[in-house]
Amino acid sequence: MSWNSFGRVLRFTTWGESHGPAIGAVVDGCPPGIALTEGDIQPWLDRRRPGTSRFTTQRREPDAVRILSGVFEGRTTGTPISLMIENVDQRSKDYSEVAKAYRPGHADYAYDAKYGFRDHRGGGRSSARETASRVAAGAVARLVIPQVRVRAWVEAIGGDAIDPAAFDPAEIDRNPFFCPDPMAARRWEVLVDTARKAGSSLGAVVACEATGVPAGWGAPLYAKLDAELAAACMGINAVKGVEIGDGFAAAALSGEQNADPMRPGTDAPEFLANHAGGIAGGIATGQPIRLRVAFKPTSSILTPVETITRDGAAAEIATRGRHDPCVGIRGVPVVEAMVALVLADQALLHRAQCG
């Protein structure tokens, strides 16, 4: 099956392939009366845009978004918001070899197994290019919940992690790695450059924090806030793991070590720890929501890898063309977008039932 919609009441549907004429998203259920222009969306797309540094793919896409519906005189009308981004820099010739042999780690074989054939140009629908639609939709979601701030960054590349003590949010947008630790950013420059020149690639861990989420958002039991976030992030290209709060580290703790004690506070309880990542029983506690997302290294590498052709013959494939040496870097704005979309949906869901 294909299932290209996400969300319960604030729903979005994306469409489009890497090398088709355009990609886009339809955002439905957005509250009316919100000021919205292309200018509110474009900056977020620009953060995800390829070709901005030598550490990302060299495909040059302006990623200019157009709003085709749902906005009148600068405000949302409550009707579906159609967002379209034209594809400009497709080069189909780069992908001729891919039509014949499956690139291991990519969706090539799986799509063929499922659908019988596939649009092989640039990965078609399975290309990370689709995530531009998510970022555009996420920009709308942010406006639905202006009280919430969603911010992600890269926490580790190829196993080299930031120093938590050096965390400086102001640094995140000052380097091409969304890295909050300037020392780590310098190390990563060498690391990623080396991988890039060798035609290799690296995995990464992206962390995300959402502040301003009020206690009560979350839809137990089968649309729990943490379950929705896990689905939203695990569905991003190349993601293989999601943690809420302490995640796997919590599995090695005792109950005493993992406790998040509470004290009376001024407006809300004061929490003395946040091992839980701001979610209990699938419902926000009012603390910052914290999660971590593991991106595998880009599967496109220059080293030839054993594979098979569409006809089942043995082959070797080395993926030339334009690729991100570390797809996790541009995953930062995508994680943010998905988290914003989940939170905005949960905000409306909460209002539906609890007023």
| Closer Cβ to its own copies, 121 or 151, answer by number | 121
- Distance, in Å, from the CA atom of 333 to the CA atom of 48, rounded to the nearest integer, reads 6
* 103 among annotated binding-site residues: no
* 82 among annotated binding-site residues: no
| Closer Cβ to its own copies, 170 or 251, answer by number | 251
Q: DSSP string covering 38-67, please?
A: HHHHHHHHHHH-TTSSTTS--------EEE
DSSP 3-state of 72: strand
Phi-psi region of 312 (alpha: psi -120 to 50; beta: other; left: phi over 0): left
Please name which of 352, 340, 322, 346 lies closest in space to residue 123, comparing C-alpha atoms.
Answer: 322
* 297 among annotated binding-site residues: yes
Question: Minimal distance in Å, beta carbon 170 to its own copies?
Answer: 25
* 5 among annotated binding-site residues: no
Question: Minimal distance in Å, beta carbon 327 to its own copies?
Answer: 10
Q: DSSP string covering 97-159, please?
A: HHHHB--TTSSHHHHHHHHSS---GGGGGGSGGGHHHHHHHHHHHHHH-TT-EEEEEEEEETT
| Closer Cβ to its own copies, 15 or 167, answer by number | 15
| Closer Cβ to its own copies, 50 or 328, answer by number | 328
| Closer Cβ to its own copies, 44 or 102, answer by number | 102
* 298 among annotated binding-site residues: yes
DSSP 3-state of 321: coil
Question: Minimal distance in Å, beta carbon 224 to its own copies?
Answer: 5
Question: Minimal distance in Å, beta carbon 185 to its own copies?
Answer: 17
CB 255 within 8 A of CB 193: no
| Closer Cβ to its own copies, 170 or 184, answer by number | 184
Residues with Cβ within 8 Å of residue 44, at least 6 apart in sequence = 135, 136, 138, 139, 142, 333, 336, 337
* 238 among annotated binding-site residues: yes
* 299 among annotated binding-site residues: yes
Bridge partners of 223, per DSSP, are 219
Q: Which residues are annotated as a binding site?
A: 48, 54, 125-127, 237-238, 281, 296-300, 322
Q: Which residues are annotated as a binding site for NADP(+)?
A: 48, 54
Q: Which residues are annotated as a binding site for FMN?
A: 125-127, 237-238, 281, 296-300, 322
